[in-house]
């Protein structure tokens, strides 16, 4: 229930940060002004006793986040990839949230496996290890299939995770409602819609069958992609709370020194991570939306290995073209083009000035070009970008939330491997190829072919529709007074569709 009882949950959140000593670290990372620091301390200190103690062996911020629960851990995972936003020290502390959380006991994991697969663990696996990785949703065990001796990873959902997430999401919904009520200006950011989107994502992540399906579809889409591996799921050893997949060995993406020591080209790997994400988002419209360090490894031959397909992003073809146009505009430093695309897509209200918006975008893009990547402050850029969206009344695009979030995470991962990486140069070949394939004559022919296919499905009905429309036009007095079961289609529209279909078919055949 999204009622006032959530006030206690939100107060407890602040109290936990105060009690664990994380409040000061957060304020330092945010470079908060003295007034905000004073307000946070005055409001937080009286309720300190309500906060969770957490694990005293952990650093303050990870101690607070792990004590608060899985929804907070998800947010911490995102921040862990952005050393350029929160600082290297804090990012390093948060990185343990990716796959080094305290595991639950192996006997409980075995009970879940047996209940889900309806067979004893020993009958299914000849080996079943202690947890090798543990994250917010599940933990992973290394095992060997008894039937054929194949080595696999068995991912087991944390017990009680559904209830814990619902409790946190409930508080987030309440907080979003309060924010919208107290700050009308925040409504353009659609905080309640954002929370609802987050809720749908994490709910889907708790069904391992959906993750197996996503892994299977993702593998089909990317089977021709060079230097990229996806562990295949084993359907007969998977269920709602258990997922079994091929074991894939590799070095952690979050350890650049180990990658260098193993002889890998970290610049190539960082570039490949960016390009793979863009290829999947633009070409397929289906991409890995949780690409933090804990879900990426590097194989001995240099291939990028992706794990954990619980959160996948999907965008339609029109949105992909808009996104590609925006990226290409930034790459070519054509800010008028970027501004025009924003206006055409409806991302910026029509009553705003396009030229002024283009100049604001120039102030975002220009500091990046030609600058040493290590000297670019992504925190400052994000802060200014937020100012731009506020000034021009841009509303949050819920269909782009996962795409934008993943782009931030992927860039953070790439720059942690190679701090000198130029994201625009890495993106250029992928975006250019997509533009050529989807915004030229070939794309027009493809669009016309789709129109022909759509009209063709209704081909058998067209003569009758045309005859009915012509007869009703010639005899308006004899129209059937009964409620119509189909819309009243104008003759000109039917004729136009027929002509378009004929032209499209001729273009495709020719």
pLDDT digits (tens, 9 = 90+) for 436-487: 777 666 666 666 666 666 666 666 766 777 777 777 766 666 655 554 444 4
Q: Which H or E run contains 287?
A: strand 286-288
Question: How long is the chain?
Answer: 510
Residue 97 · residue 73 · CB < 8 Å: yes
Write the CA distances from 46 to 13, 38, 41, 119, integer angstroms: 13, 13, 9, 53
| Residue whose entry in the numeric block shows the structure tokens 């260098």 | 260
CA 76 – CA 67 distance, rounded (Å): 12
CA 157 – CA 455 distance, rounded (Å): 46
- pLDDT for the residue 84: 53
Taking each helix axis from N to C end, the angle separating 70-80 and 60-68, rounded to the nearest 10 degrees, works out to 140
Q: Does residue 284 carry a catalytic annotation?
A: no
Q: Which stretches of the chain drop beneath a pLDDT of 50? A: 1, 483-487, 489, 491-495, 497-501, 503-510
Residue 389 · residue 361 · CB < 8 Å: no
CA 12 – CA 435 distance, rounded (Å): 49
CA 456 – CA 319 distance, rounded (Å): 26
CA 179 – CA 10 distance, rounded (Å): 13
- State the chain's maximal CA–CA distance in angstroms: 86
Catalytic residue (one of 168, 170, 290, 418): 290
Write the CA distances from 342 to 279, 304, 323, integer angstroms: 22, 33, 9
E-assigned strand segments in 117-247? 125-134, 138-145, 151-157, 228-229, 242-246
- pLDDT for the residue 288: 92
Token pair belonging to 349: 């209200």
> How many helices (H) does the chain have, and how many strands (E)?
24, 10
- pLDDT for the residue 426: 85
Residue 428 · residue 436 · CB < 8 Å: no
CA angle 163, 168, 172 (to 5 degrees): 145
pTM of the model: 0.70
């Amino acid at each position: 229930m999204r009622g006032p009882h959530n006030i206690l949950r939100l107060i407890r959140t602040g109290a936990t940060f105060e009690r664990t000593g994380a409040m000061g670290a957060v304020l330092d990372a945010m470079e908060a002004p003295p007034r905000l620091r004073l307000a946070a301390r005055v409001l937080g200190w009286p309720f300190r006793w309500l906060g969770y103690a957490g694990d005293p062996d952990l650093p303050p911020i990870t101690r607070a986040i792990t004590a608060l629960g899985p929804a907070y851990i998800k947010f911490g995972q995102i921040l862990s990839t952005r050393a350029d936003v929160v600082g290297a020290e804090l990012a390093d502390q948060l990185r343990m949230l990716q796959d080094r959380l305290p595991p639950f006991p192996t006997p409980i994991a075995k009970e879940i496996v047996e209940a889900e697969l309806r067979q004893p663990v020993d009958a299914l696996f000849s080996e079943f290890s202690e947890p090798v990785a543990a994250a917010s949703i599940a933990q992973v065990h290394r095992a060997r299939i008894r039937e054929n001796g194949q080595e696999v990873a068995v991912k087991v959902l944390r017990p009680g995770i559904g209830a814990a997430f619902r409790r946190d999401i409930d508080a987030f919904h309440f907080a979003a409602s309060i924010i919208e009520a107290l700050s009308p200006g925040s409504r353009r950011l659609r905080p309640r819609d954002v929370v609802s989107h987050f809720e749908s994502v994490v709910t889907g992540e708790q069904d391992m069958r959906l993750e197996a399906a996503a892994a299977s579809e993702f593998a089909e889409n990317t089977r021709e992609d060079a230097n990229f591996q996806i562990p295949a799921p084993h359907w007969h050893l998977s269920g709602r709370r258990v997922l079994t997949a091929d074991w894939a060995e590799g070095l952690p993406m979050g350890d650049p020194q180990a990658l260098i020591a193993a002889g890998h080209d970290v610049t190539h790997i960082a570039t490949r991570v960016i390009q793979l994400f863009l290829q999947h988002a633009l070409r397929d419209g289906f991409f890995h939306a949780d690409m933090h360090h804990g879900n990426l490894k590097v194989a001995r031959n240099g291939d990028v290995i992706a794990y954990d397909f619980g959160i996948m992003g999907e965008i339609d073809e029109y949105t992909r073209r808009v996104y590609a146009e925006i990226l290409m505009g930034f790459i070519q430093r054509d800010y008028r083009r970027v501004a025009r695309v924003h206006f055409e897509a409806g991302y910026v209200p029509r009553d705003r000035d396009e030229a002024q918006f283009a100049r604001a975008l120039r102030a975002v893009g220009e500091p990046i070009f030609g600058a040493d990547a290590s000297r670019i402050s992504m925190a400052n850029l994000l802060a200014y970008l937020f100012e731009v969206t506020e000034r021009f009344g841009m509303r949050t695009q819920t269909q782009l939330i996962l795409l934008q979030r993943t782009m931030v995470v992927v860039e953070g991962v790439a720059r942690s491997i190679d701090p000198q990486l130029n994201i625009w140069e890495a993106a250029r070949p992928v975006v250019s190829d997509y533009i050529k394939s989807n915004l030229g004559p070939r794309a027009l022919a493809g669009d016309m072919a789709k129109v022909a296919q759509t009209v063709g499905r209704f081909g058998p009905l067209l003569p009758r529709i045309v005859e009915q429309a012509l007869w009703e036009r010639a005899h308006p007095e004899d129209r059937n007074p009964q409620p119509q079961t189909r819309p009243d289609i104008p003759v000109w529209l039917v004729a136009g569709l027929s002509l378009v279909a004929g032209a499209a078919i001729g273009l495709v055949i020719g």
